[in-house]
């Protein structure tokens, strides 16, 4: 298809935007599926908490983490991709789209932090340790990820106009 970039005027920009849309969608689907896995693990922990009456006080912390995780996952899945059809394909817009892509790549670090937090919760539960700080760490990581999504939306608003 690279030959068409040189034959048809404007085709290269169109192709790059189309590929950008597909890449963005695939990345957000991947992130949402990984957060769904964390959600499923958190649900199993909540079930285990309800089975152990001595830990029932942690159910509120677990539910708070679940609600926040659901919010972040849904925002990730359904957020604006930032490649509106009205974009003209100018150099400035192309650079802005690349900046959004780089910004989105940093979401992987946030996801890793969330993954580490759920691992810690599972380990604390298995070892009989204090889980309250582990839930606090998870909710803090999720709030940071949610804040990152707010920054993404602001960047998109700036880019789109």
pLDDT value for 5 = 66
User: For the stretch 40-52, what's the b/e string if a residue is b when 16 or more beta carbons lie within 10 angstroms of its beta carbon?
Assistant: eebeebbeebeee
| Cα 52 from Cα 135, distance rounded (Å) | 17
In the prediction, which pLDDT does 57 show?
A: 87
Q: Which two tokens stand for residue 99?
A: 């900046």
CA dihedral 141, 146, 148, 151 (to 10 degrees): -160
Residue with tokens 């959600």: 39
| pLDDT for 80 | 65
pLDDT on residue 45 = 93
Instruction: Please report the domains of the chain, with CATH numbers, ordered by start residue.
Output: 2-160 (1.20.120)
Give the pLDDT of residue 22.
78
Quote the pLDDT of residue 69. 95
CA-closest candidate to residue 89, choices 1, 8, 12, 5? 12
**Tens digits of pLDDT across the chain (161 residues):** 567 666 777 677 677 777 777 777 888 889 999 999 999 999 999 999 888 888 888 999 999 999 999 999 998 888 766 555 455 556 666 677 777 777 788 888 999 999 999 999 999 888 888 889 999 999 999 999 999 888 888 877 776 65
């Amino acid at each position: 298809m690279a030959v068409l970039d040189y034959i048809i005027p404007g085709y290269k920009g169109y192709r790059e935007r189309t590929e950008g849309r597909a890449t963005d969608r695939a990345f957000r689907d991947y992130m949402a599926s990984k957060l769904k896995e964390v959600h499923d693990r958190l649900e199993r922990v909540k079930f285990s908490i309800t089975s152990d009456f001595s830990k029932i006080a942690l159910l509120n912390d677990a539910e708070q983490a679940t609600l926040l995780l659901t919010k972040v996952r849904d925002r990730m899945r359904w957020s604006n991709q930032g490649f509106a059809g009205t974009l003209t394909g100018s150099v400035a817009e192309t650079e802005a789209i690349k900046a959004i892509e780089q910004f989105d790549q940093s979401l992987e670090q946030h996801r890793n932090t969330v993954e580490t937090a759920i691992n810690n919760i599972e380990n604390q539960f298995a070892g009989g340790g204090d889980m309250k700080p582990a839930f606090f760490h998870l909710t803090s990581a999720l709030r940071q990820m949610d804040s990152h999504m707010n920054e993404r939306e602001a960047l998109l608003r700036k880019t789109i106009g």
